[in-house]
Amino acid sequence: MAVEVSPKSLPHPVRGDVYTLGECIPLEWSGTGADLQSRIVLYHGSFASLARLGEFDWRNEAWETLTHELRHHLEWRANAAALEAYDWAAEENFKRHEGEPFDPAFYRSGERIDAQVWKVDDDVFVEGAAGRPRLGVVEIGWHGRRYRVRIARSPRRAALFVSLQGLAEAPPGEAVLVLRPRPSLLDLFRNSPPPVPQTVAAEPLDG
């Protein structure tokens, strides 16, 4: 297991006063997961962002983060099924980036951060309400702020993966709004169209 420091800042997708200080990233493993090799990353940018908000004991927070992520490493080793699911999610996310066909539900096998929010590698996926928004407009919350997102027209039965640009505190990777089609009994008898990618500028609602 290796420990490294990254300059990145990882804002919490929902709360404006929370940042991810570190994480345990599984690298190589086989069999039951007992031979898992992991990397623990401390995010200097997140420590700096929290320090700007007020009094902050970085030494204590760094120690707590290290011990917390070490527990994650031990939990990963004991749960081969979770490792397999995470590895599969990372592979599907790579396909998405490469423009290849991918499973539209893959992100749900990533790390759950909050209600309807998951993380796969450096990308964060926020799941919106099922179905298409009225007038093609969605309002979402991100790191304590509200944004308006205008969705381009697309096949109604296709899942949308909308990469959000212009967020005040963006993640190191992509912030992706996922809009799944409204489920129907007819889905049992027909093939679903492939997911549709979009890139949209998120408009802040609070100036």
Q: What pLDDT is stored for residue 21 in this prediction?
A: 93
- Residue whose tokens read 């929902």: 14
Distance CA(36)–CA(27), nearest Å, equals 7
Where the chain has pLDDT below 50, the residues are: none
Please give the full DSSP string across 67-131, using - where no structure is assigned: HHHHHHHHHHHH-HHHHHHHHHHHHHHHHHHHT----TTGGGGSEEEETTEEEETTEEEEE--SS
Q: Within its chain, how far is the Cα of 174 from the centroid?
A: 8
Q: Within a 10 A sphere around the Cβ of 191, how many other Cβ atoms?
A: 7
The Cα-based distances of 76 to 60, 86, 113, 159, 161 in angstroms read 25, 10, 17, 30, 28
Q: What pLDDT is stored for residue 36 in this prediction?
A: 72
**Where do the CATH 3.30.2010.20 domains begin and end in the chain?**
2-78
Q: What pLDDT is stored for residue 34 in this prediction?
A: 63
Task: Label residues 76-104 b or e (16+ Cβ within 10 Å = b).
Answer: bbeebeebeebeebbebbeebeeeeebbb
At 41 the three-state DSSP class reads strand
Tell me which architecture the domain covering 2-78 has in CATH. Answer: 2-Layer Sandwich (3.30)
Residue 31 DSSP symbol: T
Q: pLDDT for 45-74, tens place per residue? A: 999 999 998 888 989 999 998 988 888 788
